[in-house]
Amino acid sequence: MKLPVLYIVIPCYNEQEVLPITAPLFLEKIENLISQGLCAEQSGILFVNDGSKDGTWDIIENLAASNRRYKGIKLSRNRGHQNALLAGLMHAKDYCDVTISIDCDGQDDINAMDEMMRQYNDGCDVVYGVRSKRDTDTFFKRTTAEGFYKFMKFMGVETVFNHADYRLMSKRALEGLAQFKEVNLFLRGTVPLVGYKSTSVYYERNERLAGESKYPFSKMLNLALNGITSLSVKPLRYITTIGLVMAFVSFLFIVWAIVARIMGNTVAGWTSMVGIMALIGGIQLFCLGIIGEYIGKIYSEVKQRPKYIIEKTTDED
């Protein structure tokens, strides 16, 4: 049986502090997978430099020069985590049979890769790395993160609960992913749409080994907004529902006003009138904002700008 060629794909943005620590761990892990007969000798590690402003690319170049398993691609500018990850996956699919994507901060348990490869060899095209618990998170982080997944489900976006971007994808799954042409990426919601046989591997997440998190609450909120407006039309349907409810309430208010007028019970109600106008005006602006988000997505999609541009690879050196 021919062993599959594995590429571990790692997006990097300003990771000069943690990369020297985790890169040897990834190398040790892939050597271990090879020794177990889970992947081929040609397997490697692909770093994607997402327009880092520090010495991340220099470190990647030095790693590539020191060991043939290390490889790197440099994007022309910062394109965001999702685009950088996609760039790595699309680049790797031409050289390998299977990829495992993982962040370089050392938080995701790399030992889960063993079971991922076993599941792949058993016929799974997609294997999701799922956190078994969030004991290492603060109460705020845990609450907002779990709320993120529940909110995404409520809004009609299919995701795997407590799964980020630590996943295995076969070449066939990567080719399926390549057929999704949208510019606004949310891979956690797009990958399940590819289909094919999938499963989950559970692991405990560790503390970040060095550096600072690249996903504070503001970015998580932006990611959720991007995912919802890219993969679901439920917010627009909710707007329709709100409009129907407000129309019904307004109709009842009109009936009440007419009856009160006929019975001669009309009383000047400036406060209530202003309150109702402010409520309706606020709802209208909120709904217009949601519609504006969708129009903005349409605007960026029709321009069909490239999701990323590869400026340089370590193979060129």
At 199-228, the pLDDT tens digits run 888 887 776 555 555 555 566 666 666 666
For residue 95, being part of any structural domain is answered with yes
Q: Are residues 312 and 291 in the same domain?
A: no
Q: Are residues 311 and 283 in the same domain?
A: no
DSSP state of 254: H
Q: Are residues 124 and 142 in the same domain?
A: yes
As given in the structure block, the two tokens for residue 317 are 């050196």
For residue 97, being part of any structural domain is answered with yes
Q: Are residues 56 and 150 in the same domain?
A: yes
Q: Are residues 275 and 188 in the same domain?
A: no
For residue 273, being part of any structural domain is answered with yes
For residue 241, being part of any structural domain is answered with yes
Q: Which parts of the chain register pLDDT below 50? A: none
For residue 226, being part of any structural domain is answered with no
Helix axes 217-231, 270-303, angle to 10 degrees: 80
Res 10: pLDDT: 92
Q: Are residues 162 and 102 in the same domain?
A: yes
CA distance linking residue 58 with residue 247, whole number of Å: 61
**CA nearest to 100, candidates 145, 181, 59, 43:** 43
Domain count, the chain: 2
Q: Are residues 194 and 279 in the same domain?
A: no
Res 41: pLDDT: 87
Range of the domain at 110: 6-216+307-316
For residue 221, being part of any structural domain is answered with no
**Residue 294 near residue 239 (C-beta atoms within 8 A):** no
**Torsional sign, CA 52, 54, 59, 64:** positive
Q: Are residues 102 and 193 in the same domain?
A: yes
Cα 50-54-56 angle, rounded to 5 deg = 60
Rg (CA), the chain: 25
Q: Are residues 209 and 240 in the same domain?
A: no
Q: Are residues 208 and 281 in the same domain?
A: no
CA distance linking residue 160 with residue 151, whole number of Å: 12
Res 129: pLDDT: 87
CATH number at residue 127: 3.90.550.10
**Residue 165 near residue 103 (C-beta atoms within 8 A):** yes
**Residue 31 near residue 110 (C-beta atoms within 8 A):** no
For residue 73, being part of any structural domain is answered with yes
Q: Are residues 208 and 278 in the same domain?
A: no
- pTM of this structure: 0.69
Q: Are residues 253 and 195 in the same domain?
A: no
CA distance linking residue 162 with residue 125, whole number of Å: 20
For residue 223, being part of any structural domain is answered with no
**Torsional sign, CA 208, 211, 212, 215:** negative
